[in-house]
Amino acid sequence: MEFEYSEFVKHALEFDRTHIWHPYASVKNSPPVEFAVSAKGTQIKLADGREFTDAVSSWWCVAHGHDHPAIVDAIKKQAEKMTHVMFAGFTHEPAIELAEALTAFLPKGLNKIFFADSGSIAVEVAAKMAVQYQHAKGFSKKCKLVALKGAYHGDTAGAMALSDPDGMHVLFRGIMPQHYFAEKPKIPFNGIWDEADFHSMEQVVDEHSDEIAAVICEPVFQGGNAMWLYHADYLKAIRKLCTERGILMIADEIASGFYRTGTRFACEHAGVVPDIICVGKALTGGSITLAATIASESVAEVISNGKPGAFMHGPTYMANPLACAAGVASLQLFKESDYALKVARIESELKKGLFPCKDFPNVTDVRVLGAIGVVEVMQMPAPEDLRKIIRETGVWLRPFGNYIYTMPPLITPTNTIQKICNAISQFAKCKPGKEVDDGGFHE
């Protein structure tokens, strides 16, 4: 039986290698992949019996741990009733329950909910809302957004267009809409605020005020292009500028929301409320894809009172009942337990475990906020060193660019955080590779 199973896995992996594209990988000379068979809590079990600790929450979404019983049970119960129905002309209990729970969970004033398929789509929906809002107010030329260099908002064309113009999407400039970019915030989260850091944003808005519909940002935490933690007062400056100029503030909280930075939403570090917020990833506890774009009462009213009145977007799987049921269960878990306290403990352990990496010759910076830990290196060690450390420590890491990072599930126990920090430290100690090459480990 063991032999037959091993032969099956061997065949399956060979088929995968020759026929299936993986994220940011080639179908020729593709990097090796592991065969996952199950996952519980912080652990991912492989076909050969090994287990890996998921140090990146399977791309930052598995907040409550893998396969939390409450979420799995909610999906099973909903599957027995109805797996899907179109949201045009219909509604259903899971969507209404999730909307009610979200309204109570979100910052006050954000209560008009549009369900989307994924984070990238939620960003595109937010951009369309901003443009349609300005059009309804009679400003049809205001169809551009201002974003930040260093930003990452997703991999669909509209979301790529709002991400770092010199980042990972350079190849696709020809198919992207053109927007405007301010310089990446330079003052770190724990630094001393200087208004000069905001001058680039002010200048861009001043120069293109007749075209600007909104400013979009990842609050406090720039993820997939920069892994940067910037000063919360930058958000205060955005909020003030947008209010004064009659443009909207869009907060992309897909990665930073649901306590990832320590507060319920990263905007809370600055005490500001955006006009539109995008959420996803941890919305369903990482169980099934779902995102949402939520607008304020005033934004929704302007759009609805303008022409054509209807908001012009409608995904096929909008408000999928299975995903909504998972979202309801996930939000109930956030409600039942003190996640701010859980994340504070993780932050403390990450600081203790990662700050010593500052003394390593190849390390340029270490930054920690909430359940986010980043070790920035001058040059990434060789991919084979990473694979060796993963095998030896049993910790699943996925560095990219010049960043070795962890964003563990928010329920990760202290001893497991220490294990993760040890693995990152080992990798950060390795000699740099011959050139910066993530070996297929890019996000």
Catalytic residues: 24, 152, 252, 281
Q: Smallest Cα–Cα separation from 120: which of 174, 161, 170?
A: 161
Phi, psi (rounded to 5 degrees) for 2: -65, -40
Assess contact for 397 and 386: CB atoms under 8 A. yes
Sign of the Cα torsion 239, 240, 245, 246 reads positive
Sign of the Cα torsion 215, 278, 341, 410 reads negative
Q: Smallest Cα–Cα separation from 239: which of 269, 212, 270?
A: 270
Assess contact for 416 and 403: CB atoms under 8 A. no
Work out the angle at residue 281's Cα, subtended by the Cα atoms of residues 251 and 428, and round it to the nearest 5 degrees: 95
Q: Smallest Cα–Cα separation from 406: which of 420, 387, 388, 426?
A: 420
Assess contact for 334 and 259: CB atoms under 8 A. yes
Amino acid, res. 278:
C
